[in-house]
Chain A
Amino acid sequence: GESVGLHLPTLSVQEGDNSIINCAYSNSASDYFIWYKQESGKGPQFIIDIRSNMDKRQGQRVTVLLNKTVKHLSLQIAATQPGDSAVYFCAEIAGGTSYGKLTFGQGTILTVHP
């Protein structure tokens, strides 16, 4: 269903700390997951993705973990920087006939303090 009046979770960290952003998904048929970062006034920016046949994937300073058993996704950001401050969204897409339809989580506001 759709939520009304979203209240986004927030995460505040100090510069240099590691950040962990969590996301629960509901569709067990989803087989592709993406994390996006959205800064104010901009469109979502791709960070990292993972397919359902994997449980971990690493990028530059970022790691995504996928736990299909409990339908949970997390994004770990190492050595968080002030430029990482943004809203982070997880998104999922199912295979088959879900053509181009990403289903987004509500988002998490990350604030990094210098």
Chain B
Amino acid sequence: KAGVTQTPRYLIKTRGQQVTLSCSPISGHRSVSWYQQTPGQGLQFLFEYFSETQRNKGNFPGRFSGRQFSNSRSEMNVSTLELGDSALYLCASSSGNTDTQYFGPGTRLTVL
């Protein structure tokens, strides 16, 4: 079975721009969670989608949004980028709520 894939792997943007990141879960997994990883804050939960519905959201501003498609693929969008948004964005998929989450390689976003 193929693992979780994320595209692109690297992105460089400037302040004020917006960005869209993509995640394809493991086949058969319907839950996709997104995390932000920074040296200062560690791994922090952004949101979770299941069957195209956002079921949970972390403490991030509304500039961070996401969606999930009928094939369980998910995208997250960050609008009006700030320098502090530079981070590794990870997505993870699982088959249910308290089942093991498997992570993709991440998208490294750099905001200049």
Contacts and interface: CB of A to CB of B under 8 A. Distances in A.
A83 interface: no
Interface string A1-35: 01111100000000000000000000000011010
Contact of B102 (A46, A91, A95): A46
B42 A44 contact: no
A2 B31 CA distance: 25
A99 B48 contact: yes
Given A43-B104, A44-B90, A45-B103, A104 B43 contact: yes
A95 B58 CA distance: 16
Interface size class of B (residues with CB under 8 A): 20 to 34
Given A98-B56, A99-B48, A106-B42, A46 B100 contact: yes
Nearest to B34: A100
A30 B83 CA distance: 34
B29 to A, nearest CB: 11
Contacts of A36: 103
B41 A6 contact: yes
Contact of A101 (B33, B90, B100): B33
B45 A103 contact: yes
Interface residues of A, number: 30
Contacts of A91: 43
A43 B43 CA distance: 11
Residue of A2, A46, A93 with most chain B CB atoms under a 10 A cut-off: A93
Interface string B72-104: 000000000000000000101010011011111
A43 B106 contact: yes
Contacts of A45: 103
A69 interface: no
A97 interface: yes
A102 B41 contact: no
Interface string A30-74: 011010100001111110010000000000000000000000000
